[in-house]
Chains A and B, each alone.
Chain A
Amino acid sequence: MLTFTRRRLAAVALVAATALLGTTGCGGGDDEAAADGPVTLTVDVFGQFGYADLYQEYMASHPGVKIVERGTGSNLDEYSPKLTQWLAAGKGAGDVVAIEEGLLVEYKANPQNFVNLLDHGAADLKGNFLDWKWNQGLTADGKQLIGLGTDVGGMAMCYRKDLFAKAGLPTDREAVSKLWPTWTDYVKVGEQFTAKKTGAAFLDAATNTFNTILLQTAGNTSGYSYYDTDNNLVVGSNPAVRQAYDTTMDIIDSGLSGKYGSWSEEWVSAFKQSKFATIACPAWMTGVIEGNAGPGAKGKWDIAQIPGDGGNWGGSFLAVPKQSKHQAEAIELAKFLTSAKGQIGAFKLKGPLPSSPQALADPAIVDSKNAYFSEAPVGKIFAEGAKNLKPVYMGPKNQAVRTEVENAVRTVELGKRSPQQGWTDAVSNAEKAAAK
């Protein structure tokens, strides 16, 4: 009887001990990083940064460093909440993280999450970046540098030569560029294209085109889009927004859009199935097109000038979160990847346009051609405009507001709202989002 009880107690104790071991066991693994052993640096990116070759080179010259990249090819919408959660939790973020310019404003509002790169000799690097790109990485008071610039989003228009030929339009990139000096001309060409019934739409989605026109118009006029430089929401009053909206309505009205929700599965399929002929093309988009359309479409795409004048969409920064356990090594790597040499390497692999004036002037960029896009001289097309890019200021809730306005455009595109209703929705929903 006594032994029975004892055995039971022993069993209870054993279960309890196992449970304890189980719960404490989890804590062990993390802090093992030996001071002098090999250091593993994690780099978090989205889309295509084109760093694969650079990692190899860096690891070869730094035998103690191993680099792991996460998130390649992922959508920015999937990436940014994850990064924010990691920062909020104080754990989980990579040692080097990529931040897109539209989201940078939100991270800049809470700079305590990031290493101040100015404390680590970054000030000497100022000359390696376009002025405005450098300034975007600084906090409002200019005392902390959150990120070093990677790329800028100089714009062009990518088009399908085969579909243009089918519609009886010129296919040569010089001639195509001459077709559309303005967006009004672009709509006219689109109407000609649509009249020929090739089975493809003229463009992919009105939302992408809207954003392109907005950033271009804003860059050329006020210098800001949804927020003015004092961070007042000006969706309803900024003429640039209204002008971009109206031009987009013309595009929708003429039935030019394939209505593929940008970045959706259908959008990706539409690339593969050659369902649209043109797409607004910031430099980084060339990598996306190549990935979506696949090797089968090689040589069918080409690149022409963007209608209107210039403009910048997107571009990113590399930052080092404070939670990184290998800050010094991570800063070193971020400096390497954002150096002129690093930017040239990335451009060669996946096409993001450098933000370094030295890189932009480098023959490796200026003379470069993109084999996938019918040997288009991408260096010339993008790099020439890049030095004169006019940045657009982005306010605190830029991403949330942009989402609302683009959604309003989308409802009109899908025929669920009239252009007038869409505009009312855009303004009121943007105000609601900004207040959240």
Chain B
Amino acid sequence: MAVQLDARPPVAPAPRHSRPVPGARLSRFDTKYSPYLYIAPFFLLFGVFGAYPLAYTFWVSLHDWDLLGAEHPFIGLDNYSQLLADPDFWHSVVNTLGIFVISTIPQLLAALWLANLLNRQLRARTTWRMAVLVPNVTSTAAVAIVFAVLFGRDFGMINWLLDHVGVSAIDWKANRFAAWTAISTMVDWRWTGYNALIFLAAMQAIPRDLYESASIDGAGRSRQFWSITVPLLKPTIIFAVIISTIGGLQLFTEPRMFNSGTNAIRGGPLRESQTVTMYMFENAFAPHYNFGYGSAIAWLLFALIAVVAAINVLLLRRLGGGAHKEVSR
């Protein structure tokens, strides 16, 4: 790589002077240091908006930090030990994981299926491809408010429809599993198209001749899909899973807007749909204003995401690991 960058045409050695050419030192500086300058903006921004808040949050989590208080005594790891024994925290972890599982799995499967459809010869192909992205462009808050109304107990359209087929009204907000399902619907509605487009892009990079030789060997459409498309998409699937993990475990707007009224941040009277980020907000801000405790939750969430992402990668490595090696570039 580095050699290619130096695209200067070979020139005859210049007549030597006793003094070095003034530009030469500058040029050496340039080749040596300017790459660092080019990548510096990312690291600067990451430092200011990523690393510093991370470190500061950790610092805050070691203190008894009342948001308005003038003094913040140092208490070491007390917030963490208290948190690990806090049933409401673990309750929110279960909620988050539950919503994550019942939203992400159908979402990625649906996205894969959609991408496969969009990859075929269709009329007005671009229009279809654009259309699946439309939900992603809408504002999350607006989506959440609309869905919260759809899933209303007394005046919601979903219950109205269910009523027509003889199912009695579901209290979507006060039933744990129903609340998870409703929130997952929102997430899927928004993100399925986005993942479909990512899968589609990866599918188009798969060489056509693989499919041709497969059909010569007599493989049908679905055999081709499972034996060629899916294994070759694996790096992309891993990417999509990790991105969904990060997004899913940080879920906030959808469950927060799904619950309305007094203390919506609880996610229902028995915390039916309170995610970890909501629990963090409840503690760091209203009604507890315990910034230290909230920061500790933020750090444990960070650890949780890292663990879940690692499990995802391991699981996906296992699944069809052989195919991956054959095509590894």
Contact = CB atoms under 8 A, between A and B. Distances in A.
Whether chain B is bound by chain A comes out as: yes
Contact of A264 (B37, B261, B266, B290): B261
Given A77-B286, A84-B285, A267-B261, A110 B70 contact: yes
Contacts of A6: 26
Interface residues of B, number: 43
A299 B70 CA distance: 51
Contact of A12 (B37, B145, B265): B37
Contacts of B23: 1-2, 5
A1 B10 CA distance: 12
B68 interface: yes
B163 interface: no
Interface string A1-37: 1100110110010011001000000000000000000
Contact of B34 (A12, A77, A407, A411): A12
Interface string A398-424: 011001001100110010100000000
B56 interface: no
B262 A77 contact: yes
A262 B262 contact: yes
B67 A84 contact: yes
Nearest to A76: B262
Given A77-B262, A411-B269, A416 B67 contact: no
A112 B70 contact: yes
A110 B8 contact: no
B269 A410 contact: yes
A65 to B, nearest CB: 29
**Residue with the highest number of chain B CB atoms closer than 10 Å, among A113, A273, A436:** A436
A424 to B, nearest CB: 14
A81 B174 contact: no
A262 B261 contact: yes
A436 B286 contact: no
A6 B29 CA distance: 12
A6 to B, nearest CB: 8
Contacts of B67: 84-85, 88
A397 B262 CA distance: 17
Contacts of A265: 145, 148-149, 152, 260-261
Contact of A84 (B261, B263, B289, B293): B289
Contact of B152 (A266, A275, A414, A436): A266
Contacts of A110: 66, 68-70
Given A9-B30, A406-B262, A407-B263, A266 B269 contact: no
Given A84-B289, A207-B262, A416-B270, A269 B70 contact: no
**Residue with the highest number of chain A CB atoms closer than 10 Å, among B26, B41, B174, B293:** B174
Interface string A331-356: 00000000000000000000000000
A165 interface: no
A359 interface: no
Interface residues of A, number: 49
A106 interface: yes
Interface string B182-224: 0000000000000000000000000000000000000000000
A81 B263 contact: no
B68 A407 contact: no
Contacts of A416: 174, 269-270
Interface in B141-165: 145, 148-149, 152-155
Contacts of B155: 266, 269, 273
Contact of A106 (B264, B289, B293): B289
Contacts of A19: 41
Contact of A5 (B30, B152, B171, B283): B30
A275 B153 CA distance: 13
A261 interface: yes
Contacts of B293: 436
A274 interface: no
B227 interface: no
Interface in A73-129: 75, 77, 80-81, 84-85, 87-88, 106-107, 109-110, 112-113
Contacts of A107: 68
B125 interface: no
Interface in B53-69: 66-69
B270 A411 contact: yes
B317 interface: no
Given A261-B261, A263-B260, A269-B155, A407 B269 contact: yes
A270 B288 contact: no
Contacts of A267: 261
Contacts of A263: 260-262
Contacts of B264: 77, 264
Contacts of B66: 110
30 contacts: A5-B26, A8-B30, A9-B34, A75-B262, A77-B262, A77-B263, A77-B265, A80-B286, A81-B286, A84-B67, A107-B68, A109-B68, A112-B70, A207-B262, A260-B154, A261-B173, A261-B262, A263-B261, A264-B260, A264-B264, A265-B148, A265-B260, A266-B261, A267-B261, A270-B154, A403-B263, A403-B287, A407-B269, A416-B174, A436-B283
Interchain residue pairs A-B with the least CB separation, the first 10: A264-B261, A81-B286, A400-B287, A81-B285, A410-B269, A263-B261, A261-B261, A110-B68, A2-B23, A264-B260
